[in-house]
Structures are given as C-alpha cells and as structure tokens.
Amino acid sequence: MKEEQLYYFEKASVFKAMMHFSLPMMIGTLLSVIYGILNIYFIGFLGDSHMISAISLTLPIFALLMGFGNFFGVGGGTYISRLLGAKDYHKTKFVSGFSIYGGLVLGILIILVTIFNTEQIAQILGAHGETMYFTSNYLKVMFLSAPFVILFFILEQFARAMGAPVISMVGMLLSVAINIILDPILIFGFDLNVVGAALGTAISNVVASIFFILYFMRKNDIISISIKYIKPTREILTEIVKVGIPAFLMSVLMGVTGLVLNLFLAGYGNFAIASYGISFRLVQFPELIIMGLCEGVVPLIAYNFISNKARMKNIIKAVILSIAMLFVVCMIIVFTMGHSIIGMFSNDATIVDLATFILKVTMTSLLLNGIGFLFTGMLQATGQGRGATIMAILQGVVIIPVLFVMNGLFGLHGVIWSLLIAETICALAAMFIVYMLRDKLTVDKAELLEG
C-alpha cells in the first residue's frame, strides 16, 4: 500500500482526510446530478411531457441496477478497507475478484430476463398511453447496458475503498462528460429522443468501466481482476453479504419507493409526474453532494474502526457539521429562488407551481436525509450488517404506509408531505440504532480481530 494512501488514512488532519476522500466523490456526484438535470433539460426542448415522464418512471430500474452494483461494491469495498486497516493485502484480491465477476454475471442474467419484457415492466412502473412507448424504449437500452452499469458502481467503490478517491472521481467525471457530449448529438442530431438519452448513459458507463479496468490492471497489491481470485472463502462471502445486502436493499427499496410514489402521483395526472421528475433532479443536487460526503468517508471510517477509534469519532462529527452547513445554504436558495429555478425547465405554469412546492418540501428533509445517509454508511463501514439492514428496510418501507394515510387525508399535497414525514422517521430510527449498537462501535482492536 502506498505511503500517500496510508497518510490520509492514518495521519492527515480530520478535515484534510475527509476532503481527500469525500471531495472527489462530491464532485463526481455533483456532475452526475448536473447530467441528470441536463438530461431533462434536453428532452424538455422536444416539448413532450410524456418523454419527461418516461425518464422519471425509469428511475426505480436504475436504482435496482445501482443496488446490484452496491451489493458487490459496498459489500466488498467496506471489507477491503477494513482489511487494509488490518494490513491484510492478500485477501483483498479475493474479495475484489469475486465481486467483479459476480457483478458481470448478474448483469448478463438481467439482460436475459428483461429484454423481451420491457412493455410489461413499463406498465408495472406506471406508464400508460403514449408514455408507455417512450418508457419501454428507454428500458431496452438500460437493460442492455446492465453489466456495465453494475460494473461501474463496483469499480468506483473499489477505487475509493483502496484509498484512491481521485481515480474514482476521474472515472465518474469521464462518465458524466461523455454523457453530456452524447446527449445533444443522439437526442437531436440522430433524432433518437429518449432512446438517445438512454444510449448516452449506456455508452458512458461502458467507457468509464474500461477506464477503471485499465487502472486496476496496472501493478497494485490490493485490487485484482484476475479470474484466479474469483473463489472466495466462507469468511469473505459472509463479510460481503452482511454489508452488501443492506446496501442492495437501500438502493432497491429507494427504487420501490420511487415506483410507489410515481403510482400515487399518476393518479393526479401526467403533470404531477413531470413536476416531481423536475424537482427530484434538482433536490438531488445537494442530496447527492451529501451522499458523496457520507459515502466518501466510509473507507476512512472502516479503516479507522480497526486502527484508531478516536479518529473515527472525530470524522463522524466533522461530517455532521458539514451536512448542517450545506442544509442551511440550500434552504436559503430554494425559498428565495426556487420558482425561478424551476421555470428554467418548463414553461407550463401548473408544472412550475407544483414542482416549486415539491422542491421546498423535499429540500426541508435534506438535513434528516443526510444524517440517515451518514449513520447507515457508518453501520456499513463497521460491518454492522444487522443494523444496516434494518435501516435499509426502514428507508424503503416506512414511506408506503405514510403515503396511503397522507394521500387519503390530504390528496396530492399529502403525497408530497409524505416524503418529509418518512425521512424524519428514518433519521430518528438511525439515531436509535446507532445508540443501541454503541458498544459494538467502540470495541477495541484486539477484541475485533479476535472475533
């Protein structure tokens, strides 16, 4: 392991180490959000709300693919970081080898199962009428790219896990840059509308995955893509699964939440889905910055969970303070300029008004959402599979009964307020779980290695 990597894991100041690991992740996720916004922006030029709705309806499927990537990427990556803290560099090759090839095989299986059933899947997602056609076409491209979407998430996580967050950022930037370049070419130049948007995303994931593969093929003693390392031990499987399952559930249940929410919104018309699609991508801007911050420090927390518990606690405190500061800034922007920002993406007064209201409500939940991200990431980093699984299930399930109750009582506005209520419940649950597991989170190094 390189001296520079050890320096940021062990010796750099808390803020410097946090920025080293998180800033590349925040920049990458930030540009990903910008791409998502531009995606809607470009499609918006076509003047067809059915196309905007189609892209919004496919978000649960992307969450599913991301979940499969996170199963291997987060499950394997956090274990790799803990192994680095224990100075066990040989075992990391088996963890990475199994995860990489497991993800590729899973992606191929997804293609075989889904490619001839896109219309049925689109219908399940809530598409109907003209929206069905666009949603189905978008899904075909998305499913064909599944192996590379999954692989991208795995390799990006591994780059961060081994202490190379800049490489992770470069891979994400490459993906976003290609996306932004290809979108107008494919959407307008080749007149492919939503298929062009999907192709841009697919091609960018392929290129970014190749970039990561080429990087890992260079001489390193941590990550391996060699086939000879795909046979894991029972211990490795257990460690990957116990953290991978909650990481998978978190992504998938977020997708289920999106699906259920879309179905409720669909009952109020296409304008409601389009409004949510615009506001969702805008609130992703700060939300994914916070997610980038929280996910960025996961390897740092995992490493110091083994080697320096006091440093781990100081890192967590610094992240909480950073989340609070970002929350205050975002609230000021949204409540002073929200309507004007939404107006950049639609000239339909009904959509602009509703999307502005949704943006204000969802932005209010940003602080609680951030705390939930951090505490869930901390549970993953420290190998607390049971606690992380409970949090993942809660984040995906709690909103469903809240939606039914609020929809019945207050209609469309109730559906929108459900988002804030669910985030509040999940954040409180995360705090309670971390408090209940406080003894396991402070176990000393000798006990942990013996166990």
Q: Is residue 5 part of a domain?
A: no
Q: What average pLDDT does the chain have? A: 84
Percent of the chain with pLDDT over 70: 92
Q: What average pLDDT does this structure show over 202-223?
A: 88
Range 18-33 burial, b when 16+ CB lie within 10 A, else e: bbbbbbbbbbbbbbbb
Q: Is residue 7 part of a domain?
A: no
Question: Which amino acid does the sequence have at 210?
Answer: I
Q: Which domain holds residue 288?
A: 12-443
Let me know if 192 is exposed, middle or buried by CB neighbors in 10 A (0-12, 13-18, 19+): middle
Q: Give the pLDDT confidence of 165-196 residue by residue, as tens digits.
A: 889 889 988 988 898 899 889 988 888 988 99
**Position 206 pLDDT exceeds 80:** yes
Residues 6 or more apart in contact with residue 30 via CB below 8 angstroms? 285, 288, 289, 292
Confidence band for 448, pLDDT divided at 50, 70 and 90: very low
Q: Give the pLDDT confidence of 90-147 residue by residue, as tens digits.
A: 888 999 999 999 999 999 999 999 999 999 999 988 888 888 999 999 999 999 999 9
**Whole-number pLDDT of residue 5:** 66
Which of these, 428, 383, 421, lies nearest to 402 by C-alpha position? Answer: 421
Confidence band for 446, pLDDT divided at 50, 70 and 90: very low
Q: Is residue 6 part of a domain?
A: no
Q: Is residue 317 part of a domain?
A: yes
Output 2 or 380, whichever has higher pLDDT.
380
Single pTM value for the model: 0.75
**Whole-number pLDDT of residue 125:** 85
Is residue 164 within 8 Å of residue 211, measured between CB atoms?
no
Structural element, H or E, at residue 339: helix 309-342
**Whole-number pLDDT of residue 291:** 79
Which of these, 301, 291, 250, 290, lies nearest to 77 by C-alpha position? Answer: 301
Which of these, 286, 320, 318, 312, lies nearest to 383 by C-alpha position? Answer: 312
Confidence band for 366, pLDDT divided at 50, 70 and 90: confident
Q: What average pLDDT does this structure show over 191-207?
A: 91
Residue with tokens 């209010």: 364
Q: Is residue 234 part of a domain?
A: yes
Confidence band for 1, pLDDT divided at 50, 70 and 90: low
**Whole-number pLDDT of residue 445:** 45
Confidence band for 449, pLDDT divided at 50, 70 and 90: very low
Q: What average pLDDT does this structure show over 37-65?
A: 78
**What is the tally of structural domains in the chain?**
1
Residue 295 tokens, joined: 């996910």
Confidence band for 207, pLDDT divided at 50, 70 and 90: very high
Question: Which amino acid does the sequence have at 330?
Answer: C
Residue 87 tokens, joined: 């100075």
Q: Is residue 451 part of a domain?
A: no
Residue 131 tokens, joined: 């929206």
**Whole-number pLDDT of residue 95:** 92
Q: Is residue 448 part of a domain?
A: no
Is residue 379 within 8 Å of residue 392, measured between CB atoms?
no
Q: What are phi and psi of 135, to 5 degrees?
A: -65, -45
**Whole-number pLDDT of residue 37:** 67
Is residue 353 within 8 Å of residue 341, measured between CB atoms?
no
Q: Is residue 286 part of a domain?
A: yes
